Amino acid sequence: MTSDSIYEPVIGLEIHAQLLTESKIFCGCSTAFGARPNTHVCPVCLGLPGALPVLNRKAVDFGIRAALALNCEVPARSVFARKNYFYPDLPKGYQISQYDHPLATGGHLEYSVRKAVRRIGLIRAHLEEDAGKSLHEGFPDSPTRTYVDFNRSGVPLLEIVTQPDLRSAAEAADFFERLRAILLAIGVNDGNMEEGSLRCDANVSVRPAGSEALGTKAELKNLNSFRYLQKALEYEIDRQIGLLQSGERVVHETRLWDSVAGRTVAMRSKEEAHDYRYFPEPDLPVLEVTAERVEEIRRALPELPEARKHRLVAQYDLPEYDADILTQSVALGDYFEATAARVRNARAASNWILGEVLRRLKETGTAVTEMPIDPTRLAELIALVERGTISGSVAKDVFQTMCETGATAEAVVAAGGLAQVSDERALLVAIRDVLASNPGSVGQYRAGRTKTFGYLVGQVMKATRGQGNPQVVNDLLRRELEGK
Ligand code: ADP
Ligand code: ZN
Ligand code: MG
């Protein structure tokens, strides 16, 4: 037992998800990413005096949709509030957010990991507007000036806050991936962490194992990938344990992840923290949400990843682990189900996708929607293996060629003369050659060292360039060796 294990990490996440509306939350400006700076702006999102916000109904619907997918309660009334602070990218001097009456309360995510059920509670989810973006780099006078792009100002966000229910860096990263998969599956967020449309701050503390009280936490920012989230938490947990072990105290502060140095650095202590002087937004009415609207949105929810996982396990007899991976994205699950529908054995479809397909997607850095082989074509390839026309190992080469050329499995097999050889006469020629050139192994086999059998099978397969039908090769070889 290491001394670390007498401390338990406690983690809670605050997630900002951009809601996929076409226009901003309080004005009609476009939310499109990547436009020329300050072209998607108007008096409202620039905070000009006298301009009044009008709430985007679609943003509310998306927020409710997410809240319901996350098992939250959606109260009949919620209230927008001004969160006051001064920062150059915040033109009004306050952010319109929600405070003591958020859009949604409670909620949880429940999912199984290696058959154990994990349940992570949520505290709340609320609507707010994004700020602009300070540009510190990329201009000739960047060393002395900062520019501000307000295109992002007023983009709708849903902030989701978890209970401090996560117990390790890996568990936090896994949870965040599952949350992302849900938001994508219900179509309210694009999951793009590089462009900042999905962001996560992590609150972390450590406490003596077995203790109920929470330790002093640090809040980590600048975690713009799953890897950084996990690395920053690992670093921070070690740092805090180190402090406690040497009799020091953890300071309540905000820390930035420095991905180059691979560590977190203090940004501001909570004593310097803003007093946001929240008060209800006088320019917006109380947000009323009828029970009918909530139910309508609930009825329109699609199957969520966790439910789909359990359905795949039951319907196709898959291991939970495999189904978990297949349901990480809707498109991958669809690709699997479309393939499975066209082959005799769904497990074969799953194995192909978890093996060759995912390997290719990783190598090429592409999405499953860009696969050059569609489920019908993949199913045709699998069928050739199922019928014994080609061996499994030849099939992998055929798959590769299909990806590169777009040809069908049958065409690749025909062009390459790759069909499996089951013809006994042809195989016997190869077998007798192998036996003649391996008298040592043959002698050992006949003397009872039957382990050499596998070696001889390998030699025959090699001689047939992998095209020998393994079953036929096995049978014939045994017959030849045993002189029957
Ligand atoms: P704050 O008042 O600093 O905003 P909140 O109570 O609002 O803190 O919680 C913010 C986030 O921090 C939540 O995700 C919560 O689960 C998490 N959190 C709160 N206290 C702790 C703690 N002691 N250790 C780890 N995470 C915590
Ligand atoms: Zn605007
Ligand atoms: Mg808080």
Q: Looking at the predicted structure, is the pLDDT value of residue 483 above 80?
A: no
Beta bridge partner(s), residue 199: 16
Q: What is the mean pLDDT of residues 462-471?
A: 83
Out of 248-257, 262-271, 416-425, least confident range: 416-425
Q: Looking at the predicted structure, is the pLDDT value of residue 2 above 80?
A: no
Q: Looking at the predicted structure, is the pLDDT value of residue 302 above 50?
A: yes
Q: What is the mean pLDDT of residues 240-246?
A: 96
- Reported confidence tier of residue 471, pLDDT bands at 50, 70, 90: confident
CATH 1.10.10.410 domain extents, the chain: 424-482
Q: What is the mean pLDDT of residues 67-91?
A: 97
Residue-wise pLDDT tens digits, 346-377? 999 999 999 999 999 999 999 999 999 999 99
Residue-wise pLDDT tens digits, 10-54? 999 999 999 999 999 999 999 999 999 999 999 999 999 999 999
Ligand 1 proximal residues by C-beta, below 6 Å: 10-14, 161-164, 203-205, 214-215, 217
Residue-wise pLDDT tens digits, 432-448? 999 999 999 999 998 88
Ligand with smallest separation from the Cα of 11: 1
- Reported confidence tier of residue 461, pLDDT bands at 50, 70, 90: confident
The closest residue, in CA terms, to atom 13 on ligand 1 is 12
| Distance of CA 68 from the midpoint of ligand 1 (Å) | 23
Residue-wise pLDDT tens digits, 383-400? 999 988 888 888 999 999
Q: What is the mean pLDDT of residues 201-208?
A: 97
Atom of ligand 1 nearest to the CA of 14: 14
List CB-based neighbours of ion ligand 2 within 5 Å: 27, 29, 42, 44-45
Percent over 90 (pLDDT), the chain:
85
Per DSSP, 299 falls in state: H
| Distance of CA 17 from the midpoint of ligand 3 (Å) | 17
Site to substitute for ligand 1 among 109, 217, 221, most atoms within 8 A of C-beta: 217
Q: Looking at the predicted structure, is the pLDDT value of residue 59 above 70?
A: yes
The closest residue, in CA terms, to atom 17 on ligand 1 is 12
| Distance of CA 153 from the midpoint of ligand 2 (Å) | 8
Q: What is the mean pLDDT of residues 314-341?
A: 98
The tally of CA atoms less than 13 A away on the side-chain side of residue 123 is 14
- Reported confidence tier of residue 272, pLDDT bands at 50, 70, 90: low
Give the chain's end-to-end CA distance (angstroms, integer).
60
| Higher-pLDDT residue of 114, 360 | 360
Atom of ligand 1 nearest to the CA of 205: 24
Per DSSP, 192 falls in state: -
Site to substitute for ligand 1 among 97, 203, 233, most atoms within 8 A of C-beta: 203
The closest residue, in CA terms, to atom 8 on ligand 1 is 203
The tally of CA atoms less than 13 A away on the side-chain side of residue 444 is 11
* Residue 134: its H or E element: strand 133-135
Atom of ligand 1 nearest to the CA of 270: 3
Ligand with smallest separation from the Cα of 153: 2
Considering the segment(s) 424-482 as one domain, its CATH architecture is: Orthogonal Bundle (1.10)
Q: What is the mean pLDDT of residues 67-78?
A: 98
Out of 16-25, 99-108, 377-386, 419-428, least confident range: 419-428
| Higher-pLDDT residue of 99, 416 | 99
Q: What is the mean pLDDT of the chain?
A: 94
Handedness of CA 241, 175, 232, 249 (dihedral sign): negative
State the chain's maximal CA–CA distance in angstroms: 100
Ligand with smallest separation from the Cα of 202: 1
Q: What is the mean pLDDT of residues 224-249?
A: 96
How far is Cα 371 from Cα 398, in angstroms, rounded to an integer?
Answer: 15
| Distance of CA 129 from the midpoint of ligand 1 (Å) | 21
The closest residue, in CA terms, to atom 7 on ligand 1 is 161
Q: How many other β-carbons are positioned within 10 Å of the β-carbon of residue 23?
A: 18
In angstroms, the Cα distances linking 202 to 73, 181, 220, 269 are: 24, 19, 5, 16
pTM above 0.95, yes or no: no
In angstroms, the Cα distances linking 11 to 107, 110, 169, 229 are: 17, 17, 8, 11
Atom of ligand 1 nearest to the CA of 203: 26
Ligand with smallest separation from the Cα of 46: 2
- Reported confidence tier of residue 3, pLDDT bands at 50, 70, 90: low
| Distance of CA 59 from the midpoint of ligand 3 (Å) | 22
| Distance of CA 205 from the midpoint of ligand 3 (Å) | 15
Out of 112-121, 209-218, 352-361, 424-433, least confident range: 424-433
